[in-house]
């Protein structure tokens, strides 16, 4: 099971670094189209900052193994934080990354929770939280 978790964690790290690099280079316009108008920052700032965060999270997932559960929770929180932008893309009907229909944008929304679960499972963050809770309960008995 640990090998599967490690492979999944490294795969997520690669995905995040690639997405972060895409934010900063060849897909900047696509990511800019996804920033909702209600975000109170300049679109370019949001795209660049989220790209830097993705690269940092990817590097941390790959390299910071002693703190992997904390990184897992942080990555999960990041995926949750960007979810409203994905919802806005669906609601506003914004085309980006080939998502040019409500069906395609709706299907994409279904994958965001999977990213959260991927981050938590691959870093064993969820397992560690459950074990800590169990120890706390047993310690109170």
139: pLDDT strictly greater than 80 = no
Task: Encode pLDDT of 58-93 as tens digits.
Answer: 999 999 988 999 999 999 999 999 999 999 999 999
Number of domains the chain contains? 1
Residue 115 tokens, joined: 């990213």
User: Using one digit for the tens of pLDDT, what is the confidence trace for 92-129?
Assistant: 998 888 888 999 999 989 999 999 999 999 999 998 88
DSSP string across the chain: -HHHHHHHHHHHHHHHHHHHHHHHTTTHHHHHHTS-TT-SS-HHHHHHHHHHHHHHHHHHHHH-GGGHHHHHHHHHHHHHHHHHHHHHHHHHT--BTTB-SHHHHHHHHHHHHHHHHHHHHHTTHHHHHHHHHHHHHHHH-
- pLDDT at site 56: 98
pLDDT of 141 > 70? The answer is: no
Average pLDDT over residues 30-56: 94
Question: Is pLDDT of 140 > 80?
Answer: no
Sign of CA dihedral 112, 77, 121, 68: positive
Domain with 50 in it: 2-140
Contact 83, 50 (CB under 8 A): no
Residues 11-32: tens digit of each pLDDT:
999 999 999 999 999 999 989 9
């Amino acid at each position: 099971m640990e090998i599967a978790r490690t492979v999944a964690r490294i795969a997520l790290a690669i995905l995040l670094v690639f997405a972060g690099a895409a934010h900063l280079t060849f897909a900047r316009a696509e990511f800019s189209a996804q920033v909702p108008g209600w975000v109170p920052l300049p679109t370019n700032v949001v795209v660049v900052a989220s790209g830097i965060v993705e690269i940092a999270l990817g590097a941390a997932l790959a390299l910071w193994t002693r703190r992997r559960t904390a990184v897992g929770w942080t990555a999960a929180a990041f995926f949750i934080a960007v979810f409203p932008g994905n919802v806005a893309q669906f609601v506003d009907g914004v085309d980006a990354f080939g998502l040019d229909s409500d069906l395609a944008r709706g299907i994409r929304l279904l994958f965001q929770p999977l990213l959260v679960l991927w981050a938590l499972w691959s870093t064993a963050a969820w397992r560690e939280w459950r074990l800590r809770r169990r120890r706390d309960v047993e310690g109170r008995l």
